[in-house]
Structures are given as C-alpha cells and as structure tokens.
Chains A and B, each alone.
Chain A
C-alpha cells in the first residue's frame, strides 16, 4: 500500500492486544490490481475460543458501564475514525473501492457511530415498561444486555457495513467477538481505532478468518449468548439455526449487507427482565 513508508502487519484483535493467529496461518491479500498488500492473519478455532474467554471477562464491566459513558465512548470512536478517515479511504481504495465510494463509506461509518452514540441512553426508555398489574405490586420490565454476542459481519469489506453490525450490539452493553472477512484489512485498522477510543480491552474482539471455518464455532459455542449472522447463503443460515439450538442461542439473521439504522437492532441483543415488588407498609 505504502511504497515509501513502512507496510503494516495486520494481525488479530483479542483482549485489547494484537496477536498473530496461534495457528501461524496467514492469507495473502492483494489489491484489485494484483499488487501485494499484506499477509492477513487467518484466525483459528482456538483464536475464536480465546476471544470468547476475553469477551466473557470483559462483559460484566461493560454491561455495568453507565449509558453516558458508553455514549461518550461510541462518540469517541467516531471522532478517532474521522481523524483517520484518509487512511481508511486509502485502504478501501486498495481493495477496489473507488475514491468516491471509499470516502462515502468512511463518512457513513462515522455517521453511524454518531447516530448510535446518541442511542445509548435512550433505547431503555423506549423499550421499557411499567406494567399495570392488577395486584398491589410495582412491576416493571427493562432491557438487559444479552451478554456475549458473536457478530458475523457482511462480507463486502465495507467499513460502514462492519460498523452497522457492531454498533447496536456494542452500545447495548454486550461484549463482542466479530468475524470480519478474511481480507478485510480495514476491519483490523478499525480495531486500532477502538483501542484509542477507550473501549475496554476484550469488549470488542475482531478476527479475520475463513468464514466457513469459524461460523459453526460461533453458533455452537456454549458461552456465546447471541449471534448476528449477516448472510444470504441459505445453507449457512439453516446450519447456523440448527447448530445454535443446543444453548438456545439468540440468532439474528440478516441479509449480507449493512444494517439500516434502527433501535430495533439494539433490541435484538437485549433480554427483557421483569421485576415485581409488593406495594405496602
């Protein structure tokens, strides 16, 4: 990519660190013109399991972080991303995006983050209820994060698509393991943005891997509470549904493209909890 500078080594993002795959495997990534760009790490099943451990460790703390703080962190991601937009435009360009399309994609990613930053302290009010039960009880229902969410991002390599899949689950207080496309160099660069935006270590873990190898691991893992699968592949969707049954994982199926802005995507990774308490003296 850079002829005069220092080419970057693209690695995985697990527990706030950038390790290579424990398997030692890489995938060569070339530009649309065939020029060598990088050796992307090819995450293994073990890398995935390590990511789950890291995410589980981080989940409780992130769930507990105040909505105000989560909002500021999401906004911070937007700030840092915007500051580095040139780098992302360049990376996307190398992967075949036209200059115009790349610029629009990065701008959309920034806008999405700003949009969702504003949801962190509002979706609860929208999706909560005080329930007028017939007995003398105070009764209310509120959303709580699902916990550990696997995100199988759209394949397109679009940064905005990746952000559209990550942001709703993240702002909802979940810890994430994200599977980006094998050649999604910008996804790994996005992890660098996360690191410098005060997202606590382990809250987002990001892997580049061969999809067919890791999707079954995401949906089968007993310590993953929910999965977003962006896919148009009928068999992949069906198998994921089947394999997710063992721990009754919440599986959200979405077409293989960016998710439209909607607070209902936040709700996909929330559990409604209802609390009763008697009223009396």
Chain B
C-alpha cells in the first residue's frame, strides 16, 4: 500500500497567504509600554524551512529588572487603583482586537512554530481570544468566585511559557492575571517569540496602560532571572517537569505564590465496546495534534486485548492518510517539529524504544528535505518499564499496550509520576465514570480527546504540576484569598 492510497496524486497545494501583514525583521523588548533595545539579540527561524524570520532582543538581568520595575510601577500607580469593571473593558477590547487580526496571528504562529495552519487558525488563535473574553468578565465578579472569603490581587506576576502553544499560552497566562488585578512580565519561549511580540502591539492598540504587561524575549537564563527576581509576587510556569521542580525550589522561602503546568504521559484507554472509528480518530487527535508537542497528549494507548489487532490495523490505515508537510498548507495534518533540539530528543527516545525491544511502525511516505520533521510513529509490544512508556517524548510517537480488565487498565494508566490528562473510550456510561474517577489526572476526556475551553480548568495531579488554569478554579492562582 502506498502512502495516501486514496489520495493518489495527493491534494493540490493550498497554502495560506502571508502577504497581508508583515513580520518585522527586528523586535525589541516591550517594557513599560515602550520598545526597548537590549545589548544582545537572537534569531528565530521557521522550523519547516530553516529560514531566519526575524531577530529579537535577548533580555539580560538589566532588562529583566527594568521590566519588573515597570510592572511594579504600573501595579502601584494604575492597575491596582483602577475599578475592576474598567480592567475588564481592556480585556474585552484585547479579545476583539485579536479576533480582528486572527489570520495574521495564525499565520505568524505557524511560520514561527511549525504547527499546521489548520490548527493555529482553528484552535490556537480562537481559543486565545476566547481566554481574554472569558476572563474579561471575571474582573468585576471575583468576590463571587470565593464564597465567604476576601479576595485581592497578588501584585507583579512573572510568567514563563513554552513553545508548543505560544500565543495560546500567553493568553492563558496574561488574561487571568490581568482580570484578577495583577501586572505581568511574560517571557515567551526562545524558539517562538513572535506572536507574543505581536500581542504587545495589540496591547498598545487597546490602550492598555504602560507596564501592565511587559514582554521580554530570551532563553532559559532570562526566564530564571525573571522567576528569581525578588520583587515578583507570583510565578506561573508552563513547561517541563524538570524545570518546574527547579522553579519550585527557587521560590522556597520567598513567599512567592506559584503555579506549575508541567509534563504528562496521558493514557488513552479504548474498551472493546467503544465506537471504534471514533476512538481511532480520538487516538490520532490525541497523539498527532500539534506534532505531539502537547503536554496532555495521549501518548500511551491502552487497547483492550480483544480488539487490539483490529484497532492497530485501523490506526495504521488512518495514519497512512495523514499529510505531513508544509505547515502553511491548509491540508496539512502534521507540521514541522519545533526545533532541531526537540527533533533530536524525539529521535533518541525512539531509538531507546527500539533498543528496549518495542516494535516500531511508521507511515510510509517521504518527508520534506529541509526543516525538522518526524513521521507519525507507533510502538507495539511496549512494557511498562520502557522509556517510551515512562518518559514524555513530546513528539508524534505513540506507545501501545493492551489490557484485559478495567482494573488492569487503571493500574497501568496510573503507574506514572505524571497525572495531567487521560482518555477513556466506551459506550457504557457507568464504565466511563468508573474510569474517569479512577484515573489520577487533572483533565479526563471520555469519548473525546484534547478539547480545551477557557471555562474549563486545566492542570495536573502529581508531577504534572500544581494549580489549575482556566475556569473558576483557575482564578485562585492569581488572587490573594483570605478566609
């Protein structure tokens, strides 16, 4: 069987246009409402082509200090004194402006990060706007969120976000922080700074008072300097569990509040009574969405033994139809791996999987020559002890295991230090509830996967993090609550 059997000849290219807006050749730091230069700069490139897109400023200690100072000033003099309903109006306005420039943000996201335009256009950007819109409404209603308690802002919030959902994570962090009355210094990821910088332009257009949000670009050291800054009241981090633990240690004894949204190794559990075609779609969406660069990706598949070979066959057939290639093409299912470094990590874990005895299968078909790419991959004959079962790969790699009883599925699924998400596929309601209750994970999808909404709290159990983001439960991360 050839690749894309029924697509013989393939689809005609259908690239999204990118000539209706500009990405500047240079970006500075957005501090105190002004674009501020830094001594050093670094490049951000398109992972699908390797081409340099833009050069951005590298914030050092001096710039971090400036940004925190600007945030403190804005907090003391403007933001903490503003009526809550006025705060909310800014957020509503930001949501609207983002909707208006949605296509520009989607294309920029795809060029800078490698994700398929279909995802940036239909998921990342609309959800980012929705996050601002949702939290805008909370600004003057916070006392209703904490019955019997008094609520107030924390102060200056340091936020460090990852490269897998650059704009969405920025919205996810900034919107609740501002709604709850805090000011922000945000550091986007090193490989994907552009949409956060465009967001700064949009804050300007919204007339957001200077210093309420400051955006500083840089690498790990910039993030560390920001997190460790003594005048920061709260740290919010999304990223790897290793860095999350380091941040937990660095805030020890400082009285800083913190929330951590870290790694995962989600189990996606398919019972023999599930609607199998839908389940297969759910498996594909679970692991191949955003090239598997998703902390809540369904990276461990548990199939009931009786249907294992059937499900794997269906899955392989479906995987043959996945289009890997130009992220700007509207037909593309799987885009580019975000960075050469991440590609290397995926390759080394896949190698470990083979070395440890798991059986590798990849969809047929070639990959583009330039850029960072990895084929959709699955492993069968996996054991609980395999590294590909235990460690987060953060790529389009699925490890398949089987089970016989619900209890076996639960104990295998929970046998991980992570606890971010999980999935269950069954047509039996009572079984679904038994499983969703039994899974030690913060977000559980039954007969669906990888769904997000600003009103729905997100966050992990165990080593997948501390705290929730989104929904009424996410507000406490940005509020001082006295009871």
Binding site for B on A (CB under 8 A): 126-127, 129, 131-135, 137, 139, 141, 144, 225, 234, 237-239, 241-242, 244-248, 250, 260, 262-264, 271-278
Provide the residues of chain B in CB contact with A250, threshold 8 Å. 466
B251 contacts the other chain (CB 8 A): yes
Please measure, in the bound complex, the distance between the C-alpha atom of A133 and the C-alpha atom of B455, giving whole angstroms: 6
Please measure, in the bound complex, the distance between the C-alpha atom of A225 and the C-alpha atom of B456, giving whole angstroms: 24
B169 contacts the other chain (CB 8 A): no
Question: Contact at B252–A245, with CB atoms within 8 Å?
Answer: yes
Size category, B interface? 35 or more
Question: Contact at B442–A274, with CB atoms within 8 Å?
Answer: yes
Question: Contact at B245–A132, with CB atoms within 8 Å?
Answer: no
Given pairs A241-B251, A248-B462, A277-B448, 11 additional interface contacts (CB within 8 A): A133-B451, A135-B451, A241-B249, A242-B252, A245-B246, A248-B245, A248-B262, A262-B148, A273-B441, A274-B443, A274-B456
Closest 5 CB pairs of A and B: A238-B253, A241-B252, A133-B453, A245-B248, A242-B252
Nearest A-chain residue to B474, judged by Cβ: A272
In-complex Cβ contact of A237 among B253, B442, B465, B471 (8 A): B253
In-complex Cβ contact of A248 among B148, B244, B468 (8 A): B244
Please measure, in the bound complex, the distance between the C-alpha atom of A175 and the C-alpha atom of B446, giving whole angstroms: 28
If A247-B462, A277-B432 touch, whether A132 touches B455 (CB-CB below 8 Å) is yes
B481 contacts the other chain (CB 8 A): yes
Nearest A-chain residue to B463, judged by Cβ: A248
Interface residues of B in 434-483 (CB under 8 A from A): 436-437, 441-448, 451, 453, 455-459, 461-463, 465-466, 468, 471-473, 481, 483
Nearest A-chain residue to B482, judged by Cβ: A264
Nearest A-chain residue to B145, judged by Cβ: A129
Question: Contact at B446–A131, with CB atoms within 8 Å?
Answer: no
Question: Contact at B472–A277, with CB atoms within 8 Å?
Answer: no
In-complex Cβ contact of A242 among B241, B249, B446, B457 (8 A): B249
Provide the residues of chain A in CB contact with B455, threshold 8 Å. 131-133, 139
Question: Contact at B444–A276, with CB atoms within 8 Å?
Answer: yes
B357 contacts the other chain (CB 8 A): no
Name 28 A/B residue pairs within 8 A (Cβ), A-sorted: A126-B147, A129-B457, A129-B471, A129-B472, A131-B455, A132-B455, A133-B455, A135-B451, A137-B448, A141-B457, A241-B252, A242-B249, A245-B248, A245-B249, A247-B417, A247-B463, A248-B241, A248-B466, A260-B483, A264-B149, A264-B483, A272-B468, A273-B436, A273-B461, A274-B458, A275-B443, A277-B432, A277-B448
Provide the residues of chain B in CB contact with A134, threshold 8 Å. 130, 453
Contact with A along B242-273 (1 / 0, CB 8 A): 00111011011100000010100000000000
If A134-B130, A278-B447 touch, whether A246 touches B245 (CB-CB below 8 Å) is yes
In the complex, what's the smallest C-beta–C-beta distance from A258 to chain B, in angstroms?
15
In the complex, what's the smallest C-beta–C-beta distance from B462 to chain A, in angstroms?
7
Please measure, in the bound complex, the distance between the C-alpha atom of A227 and the C-alpha atom of B398, giving whole angstroms: 35
Please measure, in the bound complex, the distance between the C-alpha atom of A278 and the C-alpha atom of B437, giving whole angstroms: 17
If A139-B456, A247-B463 touch, whether A273 touches B444 (CB-CB below 8 Å) is yes
Binding site for A on B (CB under 8 A): 130, 147-149, 241, 244-246, 248-249, 251-253, 260, 262, 417, 432, 436-437, 441-448, 451, 453, 455-459, 461-463, 465-466, 468, 471-473, 481, 483
Provide the residues of chain A in CB contact with B262, threshold 8 Å. 248
If A225-B462, A272-B468, A274-B458 touch, whether A262 touches B249 (CB-CB below 8 Å) is no
Provide the residues of chain B in CB contact with A260, threshold 8 Å. 483
Provide the residues of chain A in CB contact with B453, threshold 8 Å. 131, 133-135, 139
Provide the residues of chain B in CB contact with A242, threshold 8 Å. 249, 252-253
Nearest B-chain residue to A263, judged by Cβ: B148
Nearest B-chain residue to A247, judged by Cβ: B463
Please measure, in the bound complex, the distance between the C-alpha atom of A276 and the C-alpha atom of B249, giving whole angstroms: 33
Please measure, in the bound complex, the distance between the C-alpha atom of A278 and the C-alpha atom of B246, giving whole angstroms: 38
Please measure, in the bound complex, the distance between the C-alpha atom of A234 and the C-alpha atom of B252, giving whole angstroms: 11
Please measure, in the bound complex, the distance between the C-alpha atom of A262 and the C-alpha atom of B148, giving whole angstroms: 9
Nearest B-chain residue to A238, judged by Cβ: B253
In-complex Cβ contact of A278 among B149, B251, B448 (8 A): B448
Provide the residues of chain B in CB contact with A126, threshold 8 Å. 147
In the complex, what's the smallest C-beta–C-beta distance from A226 to chain B, in angstroms?
10
In the complex, what's the smallest C-beta–C-beta distance from A225 to chain B, in angstroms?
7
In the complex, what's the smallest C-beta–C-beta distance from A135 to chain B, in angstroms?
6
Nearest B-chain residue to A129, judged by Cβ: B472
Please measure, in the bound complex, the distance between the C-alpha atom of A188 and the C-alpha atom of B442, giving whole angstroms: 36
Question: Contact at A133–B244, with CB atoms within 8 Å?
Answer: no
Provide the residues of chain A in CB contact with B248, threshold 8 Å. 241, 244-245, 248
Provide the residues of chain B in CB contact with A272, threshold 8 Å. 442, 457, 459, 468, 473
Question: Contact at B446–A141, with CB atoms within 8 Å?
Answer: no
Question: Contact at A274–B457, with CB atoms within 8 Å?
Answer: yes
Please measure, in the bound complex, the distance between the C-alpha atom of A276 and the C-alpha atom of B443, giving whole angstroms: 8
In-complex Cβ contact of A275 among B149, B436, B465 (8 A): B436
Question: Contact at A129–B463, with CB atoms within 8 Å?
Answer: no
Nearest B-chain residue to A139, judged by Cβ: B456
Provide the residues of chain B in CB contact with A271, threshold 8 Å. 442, 461
Nearest A-chain residue to B241, judged by Cβ: A248
Question: Which one of B148, B453, B465 has the greatest number of beta carbons of chain A within 10 Å?
Answer: B453
Provide the residues of chain B in CB contact with A244, threshold 8 Å. 248
Nearest B-chain residue to A242, judged by Cβ: B252
In the complex, what's the smallest C-beta–C-beta distance from B110 to chain A, in angstroms?
23
Nearest A-chain residue to B248, judged by Cβ: A245
In the complex, what's the smallest C-beta–C-beta distance from A74 to chain B, in angstroms?
20
In the complex, what's the smallest C-beta–C-beta distance from B420 to chain A, in angstroms?
11
Please measure, in the bound complex, the distance between the C-alpha atom of A231 and the C-alpha atom of B465, giving whole angstroms: 24
Provide the residues of chain A in CB contact with B148, threshold 8 Å. 262-263
In the complex, what's the smallest C-beta–C-beta distance from A7 to chain B, in angstroms?
43
